[in-house]
Amino acid sequence: MVFHNAGMRSGIECSLCARCPRDRIRGCCTISPVFLLADIGYFLNNGGDEFVNDLLDSPYVDISADQLMVNAIDPSSEASPGTSQVRAASIAPFSHLSHPKTCRFHHPEVGCRIPMSYRNMVCRQFLCPGVKLWKDTRARRWVDFWLYLQEEEIRRQQLLADKCAKQGFSLLARRHECLRLVRSMYRDLQPAPRLPDGYPEMEILVLKPTGIPGAKATN
Ligand code: SF4
Ligand code: SF4
């Protein structure tokens, strides 16, 4: 388990996910990830213009006024050429598993194809209850850190959404103006308000994954 303290884009890595005992093809990446204006503001200020444009142009993305949802792939119904077909074929032998869908960014061999800093808040911090991370006393001291980040992310999203709404901009109407405002407002939000003290840039913890059927301890 690795905690990365990278300000507002901090995240948690878990080595068990690469050989997830729950679903070894997709792990828990069965969702349709949502990117908020707060994520978009980060992308636009960190070389992600193309990523934002790709999301906005994609037929697989549901666009709302203040967020983008990347629809998960349903391997049983989607057999279009390209990556989805490859992925559908890889998943087919496991179609008996309880979750038929898979996140569009997930690759059966390499896991998430987008870097940690580009993942949304849920994906950067999510670990299934089976990992039992927060029962470990060494990990518990990080709880306040993640809670702070979640609250700050919600505050930023609200701020950006409110300002856009007041100006009559959104991802649906007057999008160009919306993106320009989000880019400049996000830049002005830097640096993040003081993060909780006492957390190293990186901390590695070795845990025994006892909570998931079939999991073997790694230490
Ligand atoms: S968080 Fe849990 S369910 Fe998700 S991939 Fe990791 S081990 Fe698997
Ligand atoms: S964006 Fe990455 S981490 Fe999030 S669900 Fe998709 S594959 Fe998993």
Q: Which residue has the tokens 């070894």?
A: 24
Question: Does residue 13 contact residue 84 with C-beta atoms inside 8 Å?
Answer: no
What number does the ligand 1 atom closest to the CA of 20 have? 8
Check residue 98 and give its pLDDT: 53
DSSP assigned state of 35: E
Q: What is the pLDDT of residue 133?
A: 80
pLDDT the model gives residue 89: 41
| Per-domain boundaries in the chain | 2-204
* Residue 112, C-beta contacts closer than 8 angstroms, at least 6 positions apart: 29, 103, 105, 106, 119, 123
- List residues near ligand 2 (CB under 6 A): 29, 31, 33, 103, 105-106, 112, 114, 119, 123
pLDDT at 160: 98
Q: What is the pLDDT of residue 90?
A: 42
- Burial class for 199, CB neighbours closer than 10 Å (0-12, 13-18, 19+): middle
CB 128 within 8 A of CB 1: no
The mean pLDDT values, 10 residues at a time, for the chain of 219 residues are 93 90 87 98 98 98 98 73 41 48 92 96 91 84 92 96 98 98 93 77 82 44
Residues 31 and 72 sit within 8 Å (Cβ to Cβ)? yes
**Protein residue closest via CA to atom 2 of ligand 1:** 128
Whole-angstrom distance, CA of residue 123 vs CA of residue 106? 12
**Ligand 1, atom 6: closest residue by C-alpha:** 17
Q: Which atom of ligand 1 is nearest to the CA of 28?
A: 4
